[in-house]
C-alpha cells in the first residue's frame, strides 16, 4: 500500500452496535487524526495522536475512542453507535504534529439507523 487507507469504504450500522473504523498509513508519519465531515459543518477533529502510544481529544470526542499501538495504525471505535454519528469519517496523517501537510485517507461513509 502507498499512502493512507481506510476500511470499510461504507457501512450501514444498527444503533447500539459497536463499530471500528480502520486506518493505516505507510509513510511513517508520527501524527494521525480522525475527522468527521457533515454537510454545512466542515471537518471536525474527533481524536488525534501525536506519536505512537499517545492520543488526545479533539473538538467532538464523545462516543468515540481511539488507540495507537504502533506508528501505522489508528483505529476509531464507536462503542454504541447512535444516529447522530452518521457521517463521513476521514483519517489523516502528517510527518509531525504542527504546521505540516495532512494527508487524508479516502474516507468511510457510515450510516447509523
Instruction: Identify the residue among 48, 64, 74, 89 touching other proteins (CB under 8 A).
Output: 48
Instruction: Identify the residue among 41, 69, 79, 82 touching other proteins (CB under 8 A).
Output: 41
Nearest distance from C-beta of residue 102 to other proteins, angstroms? 7
For residue 98, state whether it binds other proteins (rule: CB under 8 A). yes
For residue 44, state whether it binds other proteins (rule: CB under 8 A). yes
Question: 19 vs 47, which CB is nearer to other proteins?
Answer: 47
Beta strands, E only, 1-113? 4-7, 10-13, 19-25, 31-38, 42-49, 56-57, 64-66, 76-78, 87-94, 103-104, 108-112
How far apart (Å, rounded) are the C-alpha atoms in residues 93 and 89? 14
For residue 62, state whether it binds other proteins (rule: CB under 8 A). no
Q: Cβ(1)–Cβ(24) under 8 Å?
A: yes
Contacts (CB under 8 A) with other proteins, residues 1-30? none
Q: Cβ(61)–Cβ(44) under 8 Å?
A: no
How far apart (Å, rounded) are the C-alpha atoms in residues 91 and 43? 11
Positions in the binding site for other proteins (CB under 8 A): 35, 40-45, 48, 50, 56, 58-59, 90, 97-99, 101-102, 104-107
Amino acid at each position: 500500500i502507498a499512502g493512507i487507507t481506510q476500511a470499510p469504504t461504507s457501512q450501514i450500522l444498527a444503533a447500539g452496535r459497536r463499530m471500528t473504523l480502520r486506518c493505516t498509513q505507510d509513510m511513517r508519519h508520527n501524527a494521525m487524526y480522525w475527522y468527521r465531515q457533515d454537510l454545512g459543518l466542515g471537518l471536525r477533529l474527533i481524536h488525534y495522536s501525536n506519536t505512537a502510544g499517545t492520543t488526545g481529544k479533539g473538538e467532538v470526542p464523545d462516543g468515540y475512542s481511539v488507540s495507537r499501538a504502533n506508528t501505522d495504525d489508528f483505529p476509531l471505535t464507536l462503542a454504541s453507535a447512535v444516529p447522530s454519528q452518521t457521517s463521513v469519517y476521514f483519517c489523516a496523517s502528517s510527518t509531525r504534529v504542527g504546521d505540516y501537510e495532512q494527508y487524508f485517507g479516502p474516507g468511510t461513509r457510515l450510516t447509523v439507523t
